[in-house]
Amino acid sequence: MPLISRGFHGRGREGPADRIPPGQHLVDDFPVLSAGPTPHTTLEEWTFTIEGGAEPVRWTWDEFQALPREEVTVDIHCVTKWSKLDTVWEGVSIDTLLDHVDYDSDYLLAYSDGGYTTNLPLEHVTDGKAWVAYNYGGEPLEPEHGGPARLLVPHLYFWKSAKWVRGLRLRDEDDPGFWESNGYHILGDPWLEQRYWGD
């Protein structure tokens, strides 16, 4: 056991056990994590595409804004051990988006500006489990938190909620994305503490 330093403790605090997954602690701020430079895509350039179905389906920003939107309040859990409760987002449900696509795949790879990717089984983004979110806390999502829009999959570790998301590629295999191919768990269920390979 490494040396304990008198009086040192982490910043996180305990929270209601039924809402904080194992190994997590509660934070009140919203930490910014990033694996690279913040992309700055203008709304004029922005599109969202779903490929891998019978044919690609694409929305411009204005078209995306015209889709039925939902406001959701969810808890989020980062694999770096912080959890934040009751975060409020607004965006389009993945169910709504997939209604426009003729597909029969079981998996997807989400891809983002800047090259980030993350893989998900379709059963984990359907039936009200996932959104493409463009507002946070009632305001447009800031670039440092993934704006113009990010994936939101709150029941899994937050690395699955890809920032700066631009589309989904539907696939027949669960091909690991950026972090999943280098140590992080293929699924990432925080309640089963699926952080790393083999967990």
Decide if residue 17 touches another protein (CB under 8 A): no
Q: Which is nearer to another protein, 70 or 193 (CB)?
A: 193
String of contacts with another protein for each residue 104-143, x by CB under 8 A: -----------x---------------------------x
Given the structure tokens 């992309």, which residue do they identify? 39
The size of the interface with another protein (CB under 8 A), counted in residues, is 45
- Specify whether the CB–CB gap between 36 and 114 falls below 8 A: yes
- Specify whether the CB–CB gap between 145 and 102 falls below 8 A: no
Of 33, 66, 88, 192, the residue at the interface with another protein (CB under 8 A) is 33
Q: Name the segment binding another protein (CB under 8 A); options: 58-66, 69-77, 91-99, 180-188.
A: 180-188
Residues 38-97 that bind another protein (CB under 8 A): 38, 78-80
Close Cβ partners of 117 (under 8 Å, ≥ 6 residues apart):
109, 110, 111, 162, 177, 178
The token pair at 110 is 């989400």
Q: Name the segment binding another protein (CB under 8 A); options: 36-44, 67-75, 94-102, 123-131.
A: 36-44
- Specify whether the CB–CB gap between 107 and 187 falls below 8 A: no
DSSP per residue, 113-158: TTS-EEEEEGGGTTTTT-EEEEEETTEEPPGGGTTT-EEE-TTS-G
Q: How far is the CB of 63 from another protein (least distance, A)?
A: 28
Whether the bond into 140 is cis, omega within 30 of 0 = no
Q: Which is nearer to another protein, 146 or 167 (CB)?
A: 146
Of 45, 62, 123, 199, the residue at the interface with another protein (CB under 8 A) is 199
Decide if residue 34 touches another protein (CB under 8 A): yes
Q: β-pairing, 117-121 with 165-171?
A: unpaired
Write out the residues near another protein by the rule CB under 8 A.
1-11, 29, 31-38, 78-80, 115, 143-144, 159, 173-176, 178-186, 195-199
